[in-house]
Structure 1
Amino acid sequence: MDPVFLSGQLFTGLSVASLLLLTALGLALSFGLMRVINMAHGEFLMIGGYLTYLAAKMTGPGYLWIAFPLAFLGTALLGALLETLVIRRLYGRPLDTLLATWGISLILQQAARQVFGSTGVPVTAPAWLSGSVTVHGGVLDGLSFPYVRLFVIVLAALVLGVMWWVLTRSRLGMHVRAVNSNREMASALGVNTRRLDLLVFSLGAGIAGVAGVGLALLAPVNPTVGAAYIVNAFLVVVVGGVGSVLGAGVAALLLGFVTALAEGLTSSSLAQAIMLILVVAFLQWKPRGLFPTQSRALEES
């Protein structure tokens, strides 16, 4: 196999894995803490992409400094609204929650069609992200690494590092771990579990909005782009281990590489089928994922 082609596919897989990781982090937190299957999570990514488009249209070349806080805060507020009005009323009813959030995802997709149209809206990357690093000489001669994909990879690494610090070194992280381990005991010890649920769900939505910024830099944003990522994001959560940030990072890398290599050797649809088969086979071996978290709720389910 051509080493330039193989390295290029692996690099593409790394950038895809970065978007998957940012999308899956919120799912890992909300599902790990609240046992909520949020089918509308992909629409947070879509909305983050559209907010990036609006920021670029209104502010010009320096739009990224506006796009990141706008996408994070906008989707976090939408997540807080969704948790308060819908999800909070459906705790302990997973099927109802799944159906309700699926319906909300369809509503958000249709709203995006009404506002932005059914075709994708392009976002031009800033000039400082328009170039690439090219390898000269050796077996990888001619291989290029676009700055915009490198930027997305670095962004995912930074967000992952911040989330790891928050969950392992901060008071918020201590409360999250306590509730994830035993909600009733944490509540008895003074943790406001309802407020924590709202905060974690909003944080996860905001991170998905940040993923939307990275997505907008790589491809046009359309109303169904979130649906294209939500299945793979759930696979990342399941393979990595429910509630595990480290597991989500490792699983996103593995699935990104597998998808990129399979697409390079076969086709997009066949690559998706291969990945699903591999995930099913893996879960037969490790049903709780790569890095399972200790949770009384999961043990009782």
Structure 2
Amino acid sequence: MSVIVSQLFTGVSIGAVLLLIALGLALTFGQMNVINMAHGEFIMAGAYTVYVLQQSISSAGASLLIALPVSFAVTGLMGVILEVLLIRRLYARPLDTLLVTWGVSLILQQAARDIFGAPNVQTSAPSFLTGSVQITDDIVIASSRLFILGLALAAVAALMIVLKTTSLGRRIRAVVQNRDLAAVSGLATGRVDRLTFFIGSGLAGIAGVALTLIGPIGPAMGTNIIVNAFLVVVVGGIGQLKGTVIVAFVLGILQSMVEYATTVSVASVIVFVAIVAFLQWRPQGLFTLRTRSLA
């Protein structure tokens, strides 16, 4: 029983990382139907923001806390620039957005190599996140993982509050459900698109800050995680935030359980096969957007 509980906690911590990575993508891909292959590079930019701040701020704790809003603003502005210059011309051609943003991702990777160098760099974790919390005699959880879990839940809560209770959230939902009707009703859909991309890209920066606590930073770090983020969003259901949350934790727990019984490589293969099997049975994902239709 202690092993099962320990693996559940490990799975939840993995799911929290997946959730943070996929949350911004759930907004830009799920809500706007834009396949942003540069999302991983936005995460990389958020991680490098921590590295840059630590060069000028000696306190690791202060630099991490300052990096959260700064990385949100930096990557959010990157997303707005991408939307204004390229994405706004391709809303009716989602496959073209894949190709264009993939090219942007390669440019951003090379820019990171030119600025910071090709080798990975490491940031310092604050002292209050270097230890661990002992739940029971057999279960010990790293403080950094608990911080990431709290950060993921706070990001989800903030995003849901924005989407459900604010005028911006109502405008975003109106554009998602019927862009043409929202436009003829007087909504400035272009402004809504830019704000949505700002929020989604800013969340990628927050994910980048979290990832500095569990591994090194490198120009290719976004490439290694973008596939998992897309899988979480697709399996959860396009445009369904609750599906993204549920699937992130389910996949994290499944990965942890299978990895304990086998190896990391075998666990990744089994999880991927399970995802493919689920999508064969339910291609629309766990949840679908309810619409009125005469069909």
Counterpart in 2 of 1:214?
A: 210
> Given that residues 236 and 251 in structure 1 are in contact (C-alpha distance below 8 angstroms), is that contact kept between their aligned partners in structure 2?
yes
| Structure-2 residue corresponding to 1:173 | 169
User: For residue 6 of structure 2, what is the amino acid of its counterpart?
Assistant: G
- Equivalences for 1:35-50 in 2 at 5 Å? 35-50=33-48
Measured on the aligned residues, the alpha-carbon RMSD in Å equals 1.8
Partner of 1:11: 9
Matched-pair contact (CA < 8 Å) for 1:18–1:153: yes
Alpha-carbon distance in 2 for matches of 1:121, 1:127: 19
Q: Does 1:58 align with 2:56?
A: yes
**Aligned twin of 1:157:** 153
Change (3 A) 1:106 1:263: farther
Counterpart in the other structure of 2:82: 82
Displacement of 1:269 after TM fit? 2.6
Give 1:95 shift.
2.3
Q: Which runs of 5+ in 2 are unaligned?
A: none
Alignment check: 8 A CA contact 1:33 1:197 kept: no
Conserved? CA contact 2:30–2:233, under 8 Å: no
Say yes or no: does 1:288 pair with 2:284.
yes
Q: Which moved more, 1:226-235 or 1:266-275?
A: 266-275
1:117 is matched with which residue?
117
Structure 1, residues 138-197: CA drift from partner, whole Å, max 9, x if none?
xxx232111111000000000000111111111111111111111111111111111111
Rounded to whole Å, the distance in 2 between the matches of 1:50 and 1:84 is 24
Name 2:228's counterpart in structure 1: 232
Corresponding pairs, count = 292
- The percentage of aligned residue pairs carrying the same residue is 49
Aligned-partner Cα distance in 1 for 2:120–2:6: 26
In the superposition, relative to structure 1, how do residues 76 and 147 fare at CA in structure 2: closer, same or farther (>3 Å)? Answer: same
Q: 1:267 Cα deviation (Å)? A: 2.6
CA deviation after TM superposition for structure 1 residue 74, in Å: 0.5
Matches of 2:111 and 2:263 in 1, distance apart? Answer: 32
Paired AA for residue 157 in structure 1:
L
Task: Show CA shifts across 1:101-133 (max 9, x none).
Answer: 111111111211222222221111111112211
Runs of at least 5 residues in structure 1 that lack an aligned partner in the other structure = none
SS in 2 for 1:123: coil
Q: Which residue of 2 aligns with 1:31?
A: 29
- What is residue 127 of structure 1 aligned with on the other side? 127
Q: Name the aligned partner's letter for residue 121 of structure 1.
A: V
TM-score normalised by structure 2 residue count:
0.93
Q: 1:49 to 1:273 in 2, by over 3 A?
A: same
Task: Report if the CA contact (8 A) 1:181-1:294 is conserved.
Answer: no
